[in-house]
A and B are shown apart, each in its own frame.
Chain A
Amino acid sequence: MLEAIKLKKTYGDFEALKGLDLKINAGDIYCLLGANGAGKSTTINLFLNFIDPSEGQAKVNGLDVTTHPLETKKFLAYIPETVMLYGNLTGLENLAYFAKLGGHNEYSDSDLRNFLKHVGLQDGAVEKRVAAYSKGMRQKVGVAIALAKQAKALLLDEPTSGLDPKASNEFSELLKQLQGGGAAILMATHDLFRAKETGTRIGIMREGRLMQQLSTDEVSHADLERIYLEHMH
């Protein structure tokens, strides 16, 4: 579903991404680990076609994102570090807008409410302006948007950063539900524990290069931390 082929991004002399090869299939939660500036967000931005690759290809559902920018975005959902919504609209109004932007006009008001209920947004919050939402509530609305969009691939850029453990755990559970529904998920994170708990595969990045890929089944928490730190030195 998500595929990077010799994907490279340079800014002048600086190489942000040095020929990334990556494939994430339906049902995979692929966690990208790495320090700041390792190339995790660059990879996500390239899949979103927010920036142009210098070389190589980023493909979604077999389509190159640079030549099919709109078609590929029909399959994608994006959850950034903080899901930014229109603060003067309610959660429900935001969800309705983004669902329609994704081409889904078929939802009734109760359908949309169900999405928000499903992700755990309290009933009272649905009609409140998003400006008053906590970060956890915003992330939930982000997942609701992905659900409403029926996204086949999710791109998450440190989505649990700053969330308390409970909210973080709830978010992981939602991701697993999406994974169960057959979505391919790419999540950039600093959280080794969350990556091991939630992911199916892990990639460790450093200075724009994918240093090592692991299956979460094959590695313990301690081993993962050791391997990660080895790559960071």
Chain B
Amino acid sequence: MYSLIVAHETRTLAKTPSLLWILLLLTAAIAFGAWASSSVFERQSQGATAISNYENGMRTKMHDDLAKYEEKVKASGGKMEFAAVNHAPGEGPPQATNAGAVGSETESFAVLPPTGLAALSIGQSDLNLNYIPVSMKNIIDATKDNEIENPVNLKAGSFDIAFVIIFLLPIFIMAMSYDLLSSEKERGTLAMVMSHPISLRKLMASKLVSRIAILLAVVIAFGVGAVMAVGSELNQAETWARFGFWLGATVLYSIFWFALAVLVNAAGKSSATNGIVLAGSWLAFVVVIPTIVSVVTSTLYPAPSRLDFIAASREAQTAAEFERMKALDQYYYDHLELVPGGEDKANDFLTLSLANNASIEKAIKPLYDEFQNQLNRQEDAVTKFQFVSPAIMMQLAMNEVAGTSADRYENFMKQVFKFHAQWGEFFTGRFLKRDPLTTEEWKQIPTFKYVEEPFSDVLARLMPSLLGLLVVVAALTAFAFSSLRKYRVAAR
């Protein structure tokens, strides 16, 4: 009986021109979303590659100068000397012998590589810089840098596949199912059907199956197509595991909207009323509730404004410059083993600069930490409040699957800070001792490689959203189908 009605519904739907338009628009939206988000990541990775190549080029040139100088010294039987920071070009030992110059005037870019499925959800990756310049300079300053992005884009969000699924897919589903029963009742065919030995629930389930099958066939086909077209690391099992979760979340989210349509139809109102109620539900679940959650979390945990943060950083810089000698003394007091001989310390601008950076970093670090902590508290609050709207659960799940979540970025930033410390440690000691760098030591310059967090961590964060969706969908479906008991085929 199920297959009969499913086949009948599918055939009837296939003869409905509006459905073809709905599916055409959906496929166009998915294709456009895939193209738009892939172009965002392509631009990001091109930027990261270009800047890394530029910096590597600069260091390669310095390395070549150093190698030539080393050969020259070896040939003459002399001793390697340390280049002064403010030496004139072309005279004396090259800058590459000065660890301070190399460590602060060239930068190593810490790059957060996109996951294979990054194009499925841009998340906040358009707000967070995915390549951070690391040098001996103040790292916190670097995190404030951003690429120039159209502010309208940042405000409106991106047209990525996650947007298509979270915002647009429910509209397509509602267009397919707002009149599941009401149109048949209005046309009179429902009474004809229900005079046969079939239960309303079986009829409804069959109607849903045909619609879900049609819709998901399109979403899955184009989802796979999008991944094949714009995804990467497709030979890795983890990419496909992520895609599996994306698919699972999408199926659950779709069923939520179909189940809501069943519930609204079960009230027995007209198609027009059903359409209005469903449109209102969409507005509530997709726009209003997520906005309220956002307002509530930022009210509960207000983050210090970026303006305050930048102002504090400038104040610290001014204060440090004002007391630069004191800062230098404090710096050497903290690092007695590094105090150089001679009288040249006050003239060494780079040393002062390092001392300045250290004191600025020390001054603004608590503010930065507080800023980060408040963001984390906001994230935690959103994670807790996510269960009030399937759209929030879906967005969090999509970001986790795509690797564009705030947690993955935080993990990246922790590694960046660690790398910054390693970088500083490597160059500072050599610089302050005025030890000339050698090509042998050059090989030991730290390099950054992002260590992907274990997939189990991703799963642990993904599961609450997925299980939340599952529970909400199961409860809503059960409630919607049990509500059909009260449905009256005949009007009074």
Which A positions have Cβ atoms within 8 angstroms of B? 11, 16, 41, 45, 48, 50-51, 69-71, 73-74, 76-78, 80, 82-89, 97-98, 100-103, 145, 149, 155
Complex Cα–Cα for A149 and B4 (A): 16
Assembled-state Cα–Cα distance A77/B12 (Å): 23
Residues of chain B from 437 to 492 with CB closer than 8 A to chain A in the complex: 488-490, 492
Cβ of A78 and Cβ of B8 under 8 Å apart?
Answer: no
CA distance A86 to B191 in the complex (A): 12
Tell me if A73 and B197 are in contact (CB < 8 A).
yes
Residue of A nearest to B203 (CB): A101
For B187, the chain A residues whose CB sits under 8 A away are: 84, 87
Identity of the chain A residue whose Cβ is nearest the Cβ of B198 in the assembled complex: A101
B206 to chain A, nearest CB (A): 11
Of B8, B489, B492, the contact of A11 (CB 8 Å cutoff): B492
Q: Are B490 and A82 in contact (CB under 8 A)?
A: no
Residues of B within 8 A of A50 (CB): 191, 194, 488-490
B199 within 8 A of A: yes
Asked whether A86 lies within 8 Å of B189 as measured between CB atoms, the reply is yes
CB neighbours of A41 from chain B (8 A): 490
Q: What are the interface flags for B155-192 relative to A under an 8 Å C-beta threshold, 1 for contact and 0 otherwise?
A: 00000000000000000000000000000000111011
Are A84's CB and B188's CB within 8 A? yes
**Measured between alpha carbons, how far is A207 from B145 in the docked complex, in Å?**
82
The answer, yes or no, to whether B79 is at the interface (CB within 8 Å) is: no
Closest to A11 in B: B492
Query: In the complex, which residue of chain A has the Cβ closest to the Cβ of B190?
Result: A84
Contact A97 B188 (CB under 8 A): no
7 closest pairs, A vs B, by CB?
A: A84-B188, A78-B195, A50-B490, A101-B196, A50-B489, A70-B197, A73-B197
> Are A69's CB and B199's CB within 8 A?
yes
Residue B241 CB within 8 A of the other chain = no
Across the interface, B490 reaches (CB within 8 A) one of A51, A83, A88, namely: A51
* B193 CB–A CB distance under 8 Å: yes
Partner of B4, one of A69, A71, A101: A101
| A residues less than 8 Å from B192 (CB atoms) | 78, 80, 83-85, 98, 145
When C-beta atoms are compared, the residue in chain B nearest to A14 turns out to be: B492
A88 to B8, CA, bound (A): 11
Q: Given that A50-B490, A78-B192, A80-B188 are contacting pairs, would A86 and B197 also be in contact in the complex, using a CB cutoff of 8 Å?
A: no
Would you give 5 A-B contacts (Cβ < 8 Å), ordered by A? A69-B199, A70-B198, A73-B195, A89-B11, A101-B1
A89 to B5, CA, bound (A): 14
Contact B197 A48 (CB under 8 A): no
CB distance from B5 to the nearest CB of A (A): 8
Please report the C-alpha to C-alpha distance between residue A69 and residue B198 in the assembled complex, in whole angstroms. Answer: 9
With the chains together, A112 CA to B11 CA distance in Å? 19
Contact present for A88 and B15 (CB under 8 Å): yes
B33-88 contacts to A, CB under 8 A, are: none
Does A74 lie within 8 Å of B8, measured CB to CB?
no
Partner of B196, one of A88, A89, A98: A98
Known A51-B490, A85-B192; further 11 A-B contacts with Cβ < 8 A = A11-B492, A48-B194, A48-B489, A50-B488, A70-B199, A73-B196, A73-B198, A84-B188, A86-B12, A98-B192, A149-B196
Count chain A CB atoms within 10 A of each CB in B187, B193, B196, B199 and give the residue with the most: B196
Shortest beta-carbon distance, B109 to chain A, in Å? 61
Decide if A102 touches B197 in the complex (CB within 8 Å): yes
Question: How near does chain A come to B269, taking the closest CB pair, in angstroms?
Answer: 17
Contact B488 A51 (CB under 8 A): yes
Q: A-facing mask of B1-13, CB < 8 A → 1, else 0? A: 1001100100110
A48: chain B residues at CB < 8 Å are: 191, 194-195, 489-490
B194 touches A97 (CB 8 A): no
- A89-B195 CB under 8 A given contacts A45-B490, A80-B188, A101-B4: no
The reply to whether A103 and B197 contact each other, CB–CB distance below 8 Å, is: yes
Q: Indicate if the CB atoms of B12 and A88 lie closer than 8 Å.
A: yes
Q: Give the docked Cα–Cα distance between A78 and B197 (Å).
A: 12
Which chain A residues border B199 with CB–CB below 8 Å? 69-70
**What CA separation (Å) do A16 and B15 show in the bound complex?**
41
B193 pairs with A101, CB closer than 8 A: yes
B4 / chain A contacts, CB cutoff of 8 Å? 97, 100-101
Q: How far is the CA of A75 from the CA of B479 in the complex (A)?
A: 31
Chain B residues contacting A80 (CB-CB under 8 Å) are: 188, 191-192
* Closest chain A residue to B194, Cβ basis: A50
What is the CB-to-nearest-CB distance from B61 to chain A, in angstroms, rounded to a whole number? 74
Complex Cα distance A68/B490, Å?
19
Question: What residues of chain A lie closer than 8 Å to B198, measured between beta carbons?
Answer: 70, 73, 101
Interfacial chain A residues near B15, Cβ < 8 Å: 88-89
Q: How far is the CB of B210 from chain A (nearest CB, A)?
A: 14
B86 to chain A, nearest CB (A): 86
A71 — which chain B residues lie within 8 A by C-beta? Answer: 197
Residues of A within 8 A of B1 (CB): 101
Contacts of B191 in A (CB 8 A): 48, 50, 78, 80, 84
Q: Which residue of A lies closest to B189 (CB)?
A: A84
Q: Is the CB of B188 within 8 A of A82?
A: yes
Task: Tell which of A51, A97, A102, A149 touches B8, judged by Cβ atoms closer than 8 Å.
Answer: A97
Q: How far is the CA of A77 from the CA of B194 in the complex (A)?
A: 10
User: Measured between C-beta atoms, what is the minimum distance from A96 to chain B in Å?
Assistant: 10
Query: Which residues of chain A come closer than 8 Å to B11, judged between CB atoms?
Result: 89
Identify the closest chain B residue to A75 (Cβ). Answer: B197
